[in-house]
Amino acid sequence: MSLQKIAFLGLGAMGYPMAGHLANKGYQVTIFNRTPDKAEKWLSEYTGDKADTPEDAVKNADIILTCVGNDNDVKEIYKKILSAAKSGAILIDHTTTSAIIARELYQKAKDKGMSFIDAPVSGGQAGAENGVLTVMAGGDQEAFDQALPVMQSYAKAVTLIGDAGQGQVLKMINQICFIGTLQGLSEALTLAKAEGIDAKTIVDVLQHGAAGSWQMVNRAETMMNNEFDFGFAVDWVRKDLAICFEEAKKLGVELPLAKQIDERYKALQERGYSSADTSVLIK
Protein backbone atom coordinates (compact mmCIF):
# COMPACT_ATOMS: atom_id res chain seq x y z
CA MET A 1 0.00 0.00 0.00
CA SER A 2 1.28 3.45 -0.89
CA LEU A 3 1.58 5.55 2.24
CA GLN A 4 0.51 8.89 0.84
CA LYS A 5 0.62 11.84 3.16
CA ILE A 6 -2.95 12.88 3.84
CA ALA A 7 -4.42 16.02 5.40
CA PHE A 8 -7.94 15.84 6.79
CA LEU A 9 -9.65 19.12 7.68
CA GLY A 10 -12.94 19.08 9.56
CA LEU A 11 -13.57 16.60 12.37
CA GLY A 12 -17.33 16.83 12.71
CA ALA A 13 -19.73 13.92 13.06
CA MET A 14 -18.67 12.62 9.63
CA GLY A 15 -15.06 13.73 9.34
CA TYR A 16 -13.93 12.42 12.72
CA PRO A 17 -14.54 8.72 11.96
CA MET A 18 -13.54 9.11 8.28
CA ALA A 19 -10.11 10.40 9.31
CA GLY A 20 -9.94 7.58 11.84
CA HIS A 21 -10.42 4.94 9.14
CA LEU A 22 -7.53 6.47 7.18
CA ALA A 23 -5.25 6.28 10.21
CA ASN A 24 -6.30 2.68 10.84
CA LYS A 25 -5.42 1.84 7.22
CA GLY A 26 -1.87 3.03 7.82
CA TYR A 27 -1.95 6.37 6.02
CA GLN A 28 0.09 9.26 7.40
CA VAL A 29 -2.70 11.58 8.50
CA THR A 30 -2.38 15.20 9.58
CA ILE A 31 -5.60 16.65 10.99
CA PHE A 32 -6.93 20.16 11.44
CA ASN A 33 -10.10 21.22 13.22
CA ARG A 34 -11.30 24.70 14.11
CA THR A 35 -11.98 23.46 17.65
CA PRO A 36 -8.59 22.20 18.92
CA ASP A 37 -9.99 19.99 21.67
CA LYS A 38 -11.75 17.83 19.05
CA ALA A 39 -8.39 17.34 17.33
CA GLU A 40 -6.79 16.41 20.67
CA LYS A 41 -9.53 13.86 21.30
CA TRP A 42 -8.96 12.36 17.85
CA LEU A 43 -5.23 12.06 18.57
CA SER A 44 -6.00 10.19 21.78
CA GLU A 45 -7.78 7.53 19.71
CA TYR A 46 -5.77 7.40 16.48
CA THR A 47 -2.21 7.74 15.24
CA GLY A 48 -1.49 10.94 13.37
CA ASP A 49 -0.35 14.55 13.62
CA LYS A 50 -2.21 17.74 14.44
CA ALA A 51 -1.71 21.05 12.67
CA ASP A 52 -2.57 24.43 14.18
CA THR A 53 -3.59 25.99 10.85
CA PRO A 54 -5.04 24.72 7.57
CA GLU A 55 -1.87 25.89 5.80
CA ASP A 56 0.34 23.76 8.05
CA ALA A 57 -1.96 20.77 7.65
CA VAL A 58 -1.80 20.74 3.85
CA LYS A 59 1.69 21.97 2.95
CA ASN A 60 3.23 18.47 2.59
CA ALA A 61 0.09 16.51 1.78
CA ASP A 62 -0.41 14.46 -1.39
CA ILE A 63 -4.16 14.19 -0.82
CA ILE A 64 -6.18 16.81 1.05
CA LEU A 65 -9.66 15.94 2.32
CA THR A 66 -12.21 18.39 3.69
CA CYS A 67 -15.55 17.83 5.41
CA VAL A 68 -16.91 21.09 6.79
CA GLY A 69 -20.29 22.81 7.12
CA ASN A 70 -21.52 24.82 4.15
CA ASP A 71 -20.53 26.87 1.09
CA ASN A 72 -19.07 29.69 3.17
CA ASP A 73 -16.97 27.29 5.27
CA VAL A 74 -15.69 25.64 2.10
CA LYS A 75 -14.79 28.98 0.49
CA GLU A 76 -12.96 30.11 3.61
CA ILE A 77 -10.90 26.96 4.10
CA TYR A 78 -10.03 26.52 0.41
CA LYS A 79 -8.55 30.02 0.22
CA LYS A 80 -6.01 28.79 2.75
CA ILE A 81 -5.58 25.35 1.18
CA LEU A 82 -4.98 26.71 -2.32
CA SER A 83 -2.38 29.13 -0.99
CA ALA A 84 -0.36 26.45 0.78
CA ALA A 85 -0.82 23.07 -0.94
CA LYS A 86 1.89 21.79 -3.24
CA SER A 87 1.56 21.45 -7.01
CA GLY A 88 0.19 18.02 -7.91
CA ALA A 89 -1.88 17.68 -4.73
CA ILE A 90 -5.35 16.16 -5.03
CA LEU A 91 -8.04 18.12 -3.17
CA ILE A 92 -11.23 16.26 -2.24
CA ASP A 93 -14.21 18.01 -0.67
CA HIS A 94 -16.71 15.75 1.09
CA THR A 95 -18.94 18.65 2.16
CA THR A 96 -22.38 18.93 0.57
CA THR A 97 -22.19 22.24 -1.31
CA SER A 98 -23.59 23.92 -4.39
CA ALA A 99 -22.34 22.69 -7.75
CA ILE A 100 -21.24 26.27 -8.48
CA ILE A 101 -18.70 26.24 -5.65
CA ALA A 102 -17.40 22.85 -6.76
CA ARG A 103 -16.84 24.06 -10.32
CA GLU A 104 -15.12 27.24 -9.12
CA LEU A 105 -12.74 25.28 -6.89
CA TYR A 106 -12.00 22.78 -9.66
CA GLN A 107 -10.84 25.62 -11.91
CA LYS A 108 -8.86 27.39 -9.18
CA ALA A 109 -7.07 24.14 -8.30
CA LYS A 110 -6.35 23.42 -11.96
CA ASP A 111 -4.84 26.90 -12.37
CA LYS A 112 -2.40 26.05 -9.57
CA GLY A 113 -1.43 22.64 -10.92
CA MET A 114 -3.66 20.75 -8.48
CA SER A 115 -6.71 18.52 -8.91
CA PHE A 116 -10.08 19.03 -7.23
CA ILE A 117 -12.81 16.46 -6.75
CA ASP A 118 -16.24 17.28 -5.34
CA ALA A 119 -17.20 14.16 -3.43
CA PRO A 120 -20.28 14.52 -1.20
CA VAL A 121 -21.21 11.45 0.81
CA SER A 122 -24.37 9.61 1.80
CA GLY A 123 -24.84 7.19 4.66
CA GLY A 124 -24.94 9.47 7.68
CA GLN A 125 -22.92 9.32 10.84
CA ALA A 126 -23.43 5.56 11.18
CA GLY A 127 -22.12 5.06 7.64
CA ALA A 128 -19.03 7.11 8.45
CA GLU A 129 -18.39 5.26 11.68
CA ASN A 130 -18.78 1.86 10.01
CA GLY A 131 -16.78 2.82 6.91
CA VAL A 132 -19.66 2.13 4.50
CA LEU A 133 -20.39 5.54 3.00
CA THR A 134 -21.48 6.15 -0.58
CA VAL A 135 -19.31 8.74 -2.34
CA MET A 136 -20.53 10.64 -5.44
CA ALA A 137 -17.61 12.30 -7.20
CA GLY A 138 -17.17 14.94 -9.87
CA GLY A 139 -13.84 15.70 -11.51
CA ASP A 140 -11.11 14.20 -13.70
CA GLN A 141 -10.68 10.44 -14.13
CA GLU A 142 -6.92 10.43 -13.48
CA ALA A 143 -7.18 12.23 -10.13
CA PHE A 144 -10.18 10.07 -9.17
CA ASP A 145 -8.26 6.86 -9.91
CA GLN A 146 -5.32 8.01 -7.79
CA ALA A 147 -7.57 8.96 -4.87
CA LEU A 148 -9.90 5.96 -5.07
CA PRO A 149 -8.04 3.70 -2.60
CA VAL A 150 -8.02 6.51 -0.05
CA MET A 151 -11.78 7.06 -0.29
CA GLN A 152 -12.40 3.32 -0.14
CA SER A 153 -10.96 3.41 3.39
CA TYR A 154 -14.29 4.77 4.64
CA ALA A 155 -16.72 4.02 1.79
CA LYS A 156 -18.34 0.92 0.33
CA ALA A 157 -19.21 2.62 -2.97
CA VAL A 158 -17.20 5.36 -4.68
CA THR A 159 -18.34 6.45 -8.14
CA LEU A 160 -17.13 9.12 -10.54
CA ILE A 161 -20.38 10.64 -11.82
CA GLY A 162 -18.88 13.01 -14.37
CA ASP A 163 -17.40 16.47 -14.60
CA ALA A 164 -16.76 18.87 -11.72
CA GLY A 165 -19.98 19.67 -9.85
CA GLN A 166 -21.85 16.55 -10.92
CA GLY A 167 -21.05 14.78 -7.65
CA GLN A 168 -22.86 17.59 -5.88
CA VAL A 169 -25.82 17.41 -8.26
CA LEU A 170 -26.22 13.69 -7.59
CA LYS A 171 -26.14 14.40 -3.85
CA MET A 172 -29.02 16.82 -4.41
CA ILE A 173 -30.89 14.06 -6.22
CA ASN A 174 -30.16 11.75 -3.27
CA GLN A 175 -31.62 14.25 -0.80
CA ILE A 176 -34.80 14.68 -2.83
CA CYS A 177 -35.24 10.89 -3.04
CA PHE A 178 -34.86 10.21 0.65
CA ILE A 179 -37.06 13.03 1.95
CA GLY A 180 -39.79 11.90 -0.45
CA THR A 181 -39.47 8.39 0.98
CA LEU A 182 -39.63 9.77 4.53
CA GLN A 183 -42.79 11.72 3.73
CA GLY A 184 -44.52 8.60 2.42
CA LEU A 185 -43.27 6.52 5.36
CA SER A 186 -44.44 9.18 7.85
CA GLU A 187 -47.96 9.13 6.43
CA ALA A 188 -48.04 5.32 6.27
CA LEU A 189 -46.85 4.90 9.86
CA THR A 190 -49.40 7.43 11.08
CA LEU A 191 -52.13 5.33 9.46
CA ALA A 192 -50.64 2.14 10.92
CA LYS A 193 -50.51 3.64 14.40
CA ALA A 194 -54.17 4.67 14.19
CA GLU A 195 -55.08 1.12 13.13
CA GLY A 196 -52.91 -0.46 15.84
CA ILE A 197 -50.41 -2.20 13.53
CA ASP A 198 -46.90 -2.16 15.01
CA ALA A 199 -43.76 -1.06 13.18
CA LYS A 200 -42.01 -4.43 13.42
CA THR A 201 -44.87 -6.11 11.56
CA ILE A 202 -44.77 -3.41 8.88
CA VAL A 203 -41.04 -3.85 8.34
CA ASP A 204 -41.15 -7.67 8.41
CA VAL A 205 -43.95 -7.85 5.85
CA LEU A 206 -43.15 -4.94 3.53
CA GLN A 207 -39.38 -4.56 3.45
CA HIS A 208 -38.83 -7.05 0.60
CA GLY A 209 -41.55 -5.66 -1.66
CA ALA A 210 -42.13 -2.48 -3.61
CA ALA A 211 -42.63 -0.43 -0.42
CA GLY A 212 -39.32 -1.47 1.09
CA SER A 213 -36.57 1.10 1.65
CA TRP A 214 -33.54 1.86 3.82
CA GLN A 215 -35.68 4.38 5.70
CA MET A 216 -38.32 1.77 6.45
CA VAL A 217 -35.85 -0.84 7.68
CA ASN A 218 -33.79 1.56 9.78
CA ARG A 219 -36.29 4.19 10.92
CA ALA A 220 -39.86 2.83 11.04
CA GLU A 221 -39.60 1.51 14.60
CA THR A 222 -37.70 4.51 15.92
CA MET A 223 -40.17 6.91 14.28
CA MET A 224 -43.09 5.18 15.97
CA ASN A 225 -41.16 5.21 19.27
CA ASN A 226 -40.52 8.97 19.05
CA GLU A 227 -36.74 8.52 18.79
CA PHE A 228 -35.09 11.16 16.61
CA ASP A 229 -31.40 11.32 17.52
CA PHE A 230 -29.60 9.76 14.56
CA GLY A 231 -27.20 12.43 13.38
CA PHE A 232 -28.57 14.16 10.26
CA ALA A 233 -30.46 17.15 11.61
CA VAL A 234 -33.38 19.11 10.19
CA ASP A 235 -31.15 22.20 9.97
CA TRP A 236 -28.77 20.31 7.69
CA VAL A 237 -31.41 18.88 5.37
CA ARG A 238 -32.89 22.36 4.89
CA LYS A 239 -29.42 23.64 4.01
CA ASP A 240 -29.12 20.88 1.40
CA LEU A 241 -32.61 21.50 0.02
CA ALA A 242 -31.83 25.19 -0.48
CA ILE A 243 -28.94 24.07 -2.70
CA CYS A 244 -31.32 21.73 -4.58
CA PHE A 245 -33.79 24.56 -5.22
CA GLU A 246 -31.04 26.88 -6.42
CA GLU A 247 -29.79 24.33 -8.95
CA ALA A 248 -33.31 23.39 -10.08
CA LYS A 249 -34.21 27.04 -10.68
CA LYS A 250 -31.10 27.48 -12.79
CA LEU A 251 -32.10 24.45 -14.88
CA GLY A 252 -35.79 25.37 -15.11
CA VAL A 253 -36.92 22.30 -13.15
CA GLU A 254 -39.88 22.25 -10.74
CA LEU A 255 -39.59 20.33 -7.45
CA PRO A 256 -43.11 20.57 -5.98
CA LEU A 257 -42.94 17.67 -3.49
CA ALA A 258 -39.49 18.66 -2.22
CA LYS A 259 -40.72 22.23 -1.63
CA GLN A 260 -43.76 20.95 0.26
CA ILE A 261 -41.58 18.78 2.50
CA ASP A 262 -39.15 21.64 3.03
CA GLU A 263 -42.07 23.70 4.37
CA ARG A 264 -42.85 20.90 6.82
CA TYR A 265 -39.23 20.85 7.99
CA LYS A 266 -39.42 24.63 8.40
CA ALA A 267 -42.49 24.19 10.62
CA LEU A 268 -40.60 21.56 12.66
CA GLN A 269 -37.73 24.03 13.15
CA GLU A 270 -40.24 26.55 14.47
CA ARG A 271 -41.51 23.90 16.91
CA GLY A 272 -38.00 23.34 18.30
CA TYR A 273 -36.91 20.30 16.30
CA SER A 274 -33.94 21.90 14.48
CA SER A 275 -31.45 19.37 15.89
CA ALA A 276 -33.67 16.30 15.56
CA ASP A 277 -32.84 13.98 12.68
CA THR A 278 -34.84 14.04 9.47
CA SER A 279 -37.17 11.18 10.46
CA VAL A 280 -38.87 13.65 12.84
CA LEU A 281 -40.94 14.46 9.75
CA ILE A 282 -43.52 12.02 11.18
CA LYS A 283 -44.42 14.76 13.69
Known catalytic residues?
171
Number of Cβ atoms within 10 Å of the Cβ of 263: 10
Q: CA 52, CA 39: separation in Å to the nearest integer?
A: 10
Q: What is the DSSP letter of 201?
A: H
Q: How far apart are the C-alpha atoms of 42 and 18, rounded to whole Å?
A: 11
